[in-house]
Structure 1
């Protein structure tokens, strides 16, 4: 593998909380040197031109749909979308067909990711067989096969007894549980946030309490079992309050928020826009404000996309019949920069921390750092670059984005995985 030299960048070290000018020399897929005025006698030189050189971004919540739903996305197309969005690694959820609840499916996902040859794909295994919430999966076997966490994402575990037992076993094998917090008897039949907008549109609503009751339950079970709990796609002010209180008590709980939940409200559903139909649903301005505050004070550890592609045919139906979900990989960095960094909610270092070291720490990965000897996984971001979102240009098969036509600033311009340039926007001088 040849050498690669990144010249003239501003290196972001989220672990140390620093940004400093430096060159980075990459050899054999690893970072060989970080310093001023580095030279390479051979290989490729990339003039970064003062842009930010970040550890490779990690999205710990994506749906790549393979096996079983390849019309929506494949591991190859999802990997391309991730690379274009600046992500060098993702954790993919197990709600495939068959469900990723056994060694064969986990091995298949890893093999397909290897064939795609672009980014690192870490499988999340199902918590219960078939994600039915009844019988636990073979957790030790799944960990050995390469799973990095357990989740029935997309489906809540209704039984507290099953969830308690799952946490006891997950703690034993040393992996976190990622919880999709939804009380199904409260959310049943709902298609958007329950409130003023659902009344105006005449659509059945999902109350904030449907999420908050399960957040409370799972925090109690985490405290009881000592199992690390990660709460997926937090969407309400009440959930934020529960997580903040639990952290203050020392409960091993972490949480993530999606760009769409800190950007949009339930008003995006106006006109019965199925691209804005997502689970948990888009909430109120008060909820968005609480999520931003939670990002700023560290209550929410991670920004993750919950990238959920669907076919045009599936989404282009009456609102109540459309599936939940929107794509997110290719708009995430721009939304983080436009909605959080530029307005001063997060500093560039804090934003990158929530996209790198924090997800890596939660999943027990060695990724998300820039240091000598580490894998050369790097994302180059241009904080001044702007674009108008056009889903027709996405690398993902999914076009279901509510951000079509939105102007974003702060975009990834190159993605490097294990020392190989897997995405180049064509704006850097490469010699």
Structure 2
């Protein structure tokens, strides 16, 4: 295997030091290191972080390879500083059997750009009627531990209880898309002043909050593990805060776009801003940022949702919800949080790796640990050009925005997937 010597780099915001990567691990850390056989990377001004881990990625394969593939999504992830992603189950066919999750897992291994950990569906076909093969997926080569019908809520409380009970046997997690469907029929955006002015059917905050409150109680009753996907409202934050204070085993994520963009973006009627859950208000954003800082929200997850041109460049009402996120997430985190490197490492690497049970990921660079890491230039700024993205899709809400930070290099088990800001393969 190759050897790399990264000189004068700041490890998670610490003082400059040298990192020697050899045989897939961080071999040495210290000042003045020397390795004649190693490729030298000047790390002056750069920050080394543990490789980022995403709990919520849509890779679209199998079934919608026109929008994304495991390979193209993995490349986008590497370009964003990620070394592991959790692939959602809403593919075609749905990842509700051992065979499909193993297919996604093997495609990730073949691409070799990030570790792809499949998420299995909770219900057969995401239909919300009967449980999928949770045990078979857990026992498969993919070793699935997180299950989600993301894009659909497990709305039946009895089915949700049974799912929580089932996965408790192997310490699995149910990741819920919290949306009471009867309250969001025909919804096009956040219910509020802007939706009223635009004449669009609103998606009320209570539709999210009611499901989270119900599922927290079910989780507490069963003693299982719940993860709440893409939290978007201030009320949801308070439900989670109370649950955590009682010791309920619940974790939660927030997306970059819900930390930055408000429902006022819908005034343009540009479908790139249509997402589920919808963009909320400035007050919601403030509550989400505070919850991220104090740990009520555990993770920043991208909800990377690539779509083909025909599914986005159409009338708002007919457009599919979703935004790209992998290649811009760290920049949004820097924009929102500032250079709080330890907090960024915690919310984008250590905690998501721990939740997903991804051994070897989410560990700060130190002697003997797997060399899964990313190098960031915090002083750089870049203007987002959709045509330059690694994803097959172009539905980024940050097009032509100038954002802070640049991924200089990403290493997966000591081998570079990105060098000098460019994909290695």
TM bin, normalised by shorter chain, reads: over 0.9
Q: Which residue of 1 aligns with 2:289?
A: 292
Structure 2 distance, partners of 1:408, 1:124, is 30
Q: Note the C-alpha offset of 1:191.
A: 1.1
Q: Note the C-alpha offset of 1:31.
A: 1.8
Question: Equivalences for 1:6-405 in 2 at 5 Å?
Answer: 6-12=6-12, 19-145=14-140, 146=142, 147-341=144-338, 347-366=340-359, 367-369=361-363, 370-405=365-400
Partner-residue secondary structure (3-state), 2:345: helix
Structure 2 distance, partners of 1:148, 1:374, is 23
- Using structure 1 for the length normalisation, give the TM-score: 0.95
Query: Could you list the per-position Cα deviations for residues 50-79 of structure 1 after superposition, in whole angstroms to 9, with x for gaps in the alignment?
Result: 310010011110000000010110001101
C-alpha contact 2:407 2:421 (8 A) present in aligned 1: no
Structure 1 distance, partners of 2:350, 2:372, is 12
Partner-residue secondary structure (3-state), 1:19: coil
Where does the alignment leave 5 or more consecutive residues of structure 1 unmatched? 13-17
Give RMSD over aligned pairs.
Answer: 1.3
Structure 2 distance, partners of 1:407, 1:148, is 37
Structure 1 distance, partners of 2:410, 2:332, is 18
Structure 2 distance, partners of 1:164, 1:327, is 32
Query: Could you list the per-position Cα deviations for residues 70-101 of structure 1 after superposition, in whole angstroms to 9, with x for gaps in the alignment?
Result: 01100011011111111111001000011111
Structure 2 distance, partners of 1:142, 1:39, is 46
C-alpha contact 1:122 1:148 (8 A) present in aligned 2: no
Q: Note the C-alpha offset of 1:32.
A: 1.7
Structure 2 distance, partners of 1:21, 1:248, is 39
Partner-residue secondary structure (3-state), 1:143: helix
